[in-house]
Amino acid sequence: MKLNTRAVHTGDRKRTGSWIPVTTPIHTAVSYFYDDAADLERVFANEMPGPNYSRHGNPTNDALEELVASLESGAQSGNGALACSSGMAALNLAIGAALLDRRRVILAASALYGATISMLMKVLEPSGIETVFVDFNDESAVAAAIAEHKPGALLLETISNPLLRVAPLDRIAAMAKDAGAQVIVDSTFATPLIVRPLELGAAFVVHSLTKYLSGHGDVLGGIVVADSANIDAVRTLAKALGPVLGPFEAYLAMRGIKTFPVRMERQCANACRVASWLATHPAVERVYFPSDPAHPDAAIVKRLFAPNLYGAIVSFEVRGADRDRIFGLMNAFRLVIPATSLGDVQTMVSYSAMSSHRELSPKHRARLGINDNLLRLSVGIEAVEDIISDLDQALKV
C-alpha cells in the first residue's frame, strides 16, 4: 500500500472477541490478566502476544507504534517503534540503545536542535558519553572524525534546525556501517513523506510526535523507530527506564497521523510559495529553504527528497533587525502565531535565539550561523494568500 493509505489504515481494527472497532480505542488499563495464569507467563516470556503491564506495552500504543513503523519502514517482526513521552525522551532512548554494546562516543552534526546539543553536552557528557561535533555536510571531515574518534553512533537531523541544511545521509550511513557505528536521525522536519532514513541505512529514526505527525498542537510525545537489529534493545531499555507515552496521547497522535500526508503536502506547497515571496521582500535579508536552486545542499536534496517536497519550515533573516525589532515584528502578527513549536495546522513563528537555541551562548549561536535577526516560520495549511498578507503587514511595522 502507498504511504497515504497506510497512514489511514495501519494499526487499526484489531479484533476483540466477535467485534472489531473501526478505530483503535483508548486502553487505560495499567495491567492485564488472562483466564489461565500460564498464558500470562507466556506473554511475559514473549512466547505469546498480548499486554501485561502498560510500561511494557499498551494496545493503544501498540497500534500507534505499528502505524509509524510502517510509515518509516521500521522492523516489521513485532512493532518496530516505541512511543515516548516526548521527542527528547525518544532521542535519549535511541542513543542509549545505539551505545549499549559500542564505544560511548557520539559523532554529532554541528547543526542540531538546541535542546539536543544541551542534552549531549550537559547530560550525556558528564555521564561518560563523549560527543564530537563535525560538519556533516563535509564528507571528508566526517570520514576523518570517524577514523580518529571511532564513534559508536552518529547523530544528525534530516533537515537541520533552524538553517535547514541537508546532509548526505546515505553516504554518511555507508561510512558508519563500515566503521561499525549506528546512525541516529531526527527526522521531525522531514517526516516519512519526504525522506525515510532507515531505507538509506540509518539504524534509528526519531520524531517529535508533537509536530507534523500529530499536527494539531494537542499532543506532547515522541517516537523512535528502529531496524530489526535494534528494536529489541529499544524495548529492553524502555521497560527499565519507562519513558513511555500515555494512551490518551497515543490515541490523539494516531488520529492526527491519518491526515498527516494530506496536511504535509499542503504545508510543503504553501512553504514554497512563502519562501519565494519572502525572497523578494525588501525587509528580508536572506531566506533559508531547501527548494532554492542556490541552496548549498541542492544536489543532496534532489537525490534524497521525494519530488517537489521540501518541508514546511522557512527560516529568514530580517534586514538590520535587532532583538527589539524582532519582538515588535512578532507582536505585529495577526494570523501567524508566535509560539515555540512547529508542524501544527496553523502557521507559527519562532525566534531561535529565544526558544530552540536559547541554551546556547551567543557566541555558539553565531558559530552555527544563527543570528539575532533570524526567524523560523512553520507554515500551516491556511490559504497561502492570507499567510503572505500577514507576513507583509508585520514586516512593514
Q: Which residues are catalytic?
A: 55, 113, 186, 211
Q: How far apart are CA 315 and CA 263, in angstroms?
A: 20
> Residue 232 CA to chain centroid, in angstroms?
21
Helix, strand and coil in the chain, % to nearest 5: 40, 15, 45
Q: How far apart are CA 257 and CA 212, in angstroms?
A: 8
Peptide bond into 168 cis (omega under 30): no
Q: How far apart are CA 111 and CA 300, in angstroms?
A: 16
End-to-end CA, the chain? 49
Compute φ and ψ for 309, nearest 5 degrees: -125, 120
338 forms bridges with which residues in the sheet? Answer: 349
Q: Give Cα separations from 336 to 12, 379, 387 (angstroms).
A: 35, 9, 7
Closest by Cα among 219, 215, 217, 181 to 201? 181
For the record, the C-alpha cell of 279 comes out as 525572497
Q: How far apart are CA 262 and CA 41, in angstroms?
A: 43
Compute φ and ψ for 53, nearest 5 degrees: -150, 135
| CB-neighbour burial class of residue 247 (10 A; exposed 0-12, middle 13-18, buried 19+) | buried
Dihedral angle sign, alpha carbons of residues 89, 222, 94, 64: positive
Buried b / exposed e along 33-68 (16+ C-beta atoms within 10 A): eeeeeeebeebeeeeeeebeebebbbbbbbbbbbbb
Closest by Cα among 163, 9, 140 to 71? 9
